[in-house]
């Protein structure tokens, strides 16, 4: 394990051992650091992923970890913080990015179990339609949208919803994306709570790498993520054999 400068990476390493309260705190600090421009300063200067989108993503993940720790008030607070961040950020951006802020309000209200998620998704759908970018698929790589895709893919694990599950063939990507989030996010959140586990995000993965064996479950499928190598199945730090 390297140093713990990156709070969000530290949060990911706490998921396998299921240290939910600490993971919630680490994701929260990752969110605050990202929003302040401090988090992830090991990344390259030009890495535009160090953005409000990642901050919002970490707030939602912090809320999920809080829920797993039995801290429903903490989960709700993270969701409502995210609503305020996204609402405020929307005043400074336009077009597809403004639509993405409505979408984030939908995600955060869903997490917080507060009224208004449906209305936020309606506004997101309408704003994406108004923005009408020439290439909707490419628009999904904008930082505020990419972070939303990252959130949905991580929360969907182990089912591993992929980009095209969320966006279809790309032609109607933005409308589909809102429909997907509205329909599936509540089920993803329920499933994580039922299983009592949030999986690490998928980094670069390898199946059947005989150089590794998971000390918990014995699997040799590995996930290079958060500056370390985790078991792809159960998220604990895997070991070289």
Our CB check for Zn ion shows the closer of 101 and 234 to be: 234
Ramachandran angles phi, psi of 90, nearest 5°: -60, -25
Residue 115 CB-density burial (10 A; 0-12 exposed, 13-18 middle, 19+ buried)? exposed
State the residues that interact with Zn ion by CB under 5 A: 214, 216-217, 219, 231, 233-234
Please say which residue, 165 or 216, places its beta carbon nearer to Zn ion.
Answer: 216
Q: Regarding beta strands 239-240 and 212-213, do their DSSP bridges make them parallel or antiparallel, or are they unpaired? A: antiparallel
Q: How far is it, in rounded angstroms, from Cα 34 to Cα 26?
A: 12
Distances (CA, A) of 53 to 70, 161, 236: 26, 19, 27
Shortest approach of Zn ion to residue 236 CB, angstroms? 6
Q: Which is nearer to Zn ion, 18 or 216 (CB)?
A: 216
Q: Return the structure tokens found at 176.
A: 């589909």
What minimum distance in Å lies between the beta carbon of 220 and Zn ion?
A: 9
Write out the H or E segment, with its range, that includes residue 229.
strand 228-231
Distances (CA, A) of 192 to 84, 195, 214: 25, 5, 22
In the complex with Zn ion, the residue whose CB is nearer, 175 or 219, is 219
Which is nearer to Zn ion, 216 or 227 (by Cβ)? 216
| Measured distance CA(102)–CA(108) in Å, rounded | 10
Tokens of 31: 């969110």
Q: Pick between residue 16 and residue 136 the one whose CB is nearest to Zn ion.
A: 16
CB of 13 vs Zn ion, minimal distance in Å: 14
- Computed on alpha carbons and rounded to an integer, the radius of gyration of the chain in Å comes to 17
């Amino acid at each position: 394990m390297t140093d713990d400068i990156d709070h969000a990476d530290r949060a990911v390493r706490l998921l396998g051992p299921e240290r939910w309260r600490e993971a919630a705190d680490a994701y929260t600090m990752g969110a605050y650091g990202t929003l302040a421009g401090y988090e992830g300063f090991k990344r390259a200067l030009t890495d535009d992923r160090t953005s409000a989108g990642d901050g919002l993503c970490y707030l939602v993940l912090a809320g999920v970890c809080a829920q797993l720790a039995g801290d429903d008030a903490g989960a709700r607070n993270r969701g409502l913080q995210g609503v305020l961040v996204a609402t405020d950020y929307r005043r400074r951006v336009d077009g597809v990015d403004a639509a993405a802020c409505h979408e984030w309000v939908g995600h955060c209200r869903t997490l917080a179990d507060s009224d208004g998620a449906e209305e936020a998704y309606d506004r997101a759908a309408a704003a994406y339609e108004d923005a009408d970018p020439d290439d909707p698929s490419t628009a999904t790589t904008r930082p505020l949208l990419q972070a939303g895709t990252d959130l949905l893919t991580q929360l969907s694990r182990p089912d591993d919803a992929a980009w095209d599950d969320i966006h279809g063939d790309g032609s109607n990507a933005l409308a589909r994306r809102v429909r997907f989030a509205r329909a599936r996010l509540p089920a993803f959140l329920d499933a994580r709570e039922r299983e009592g586990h949030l999986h690490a995000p998928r980094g670069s993965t390898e199946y059947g790498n005989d150089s590794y064996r998971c000390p918990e479950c014995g699997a040799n499928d590995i996930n290079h993520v958060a500056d370390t190598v985790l078991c792809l199945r159960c998220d604990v730090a895997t070991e070289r054999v």
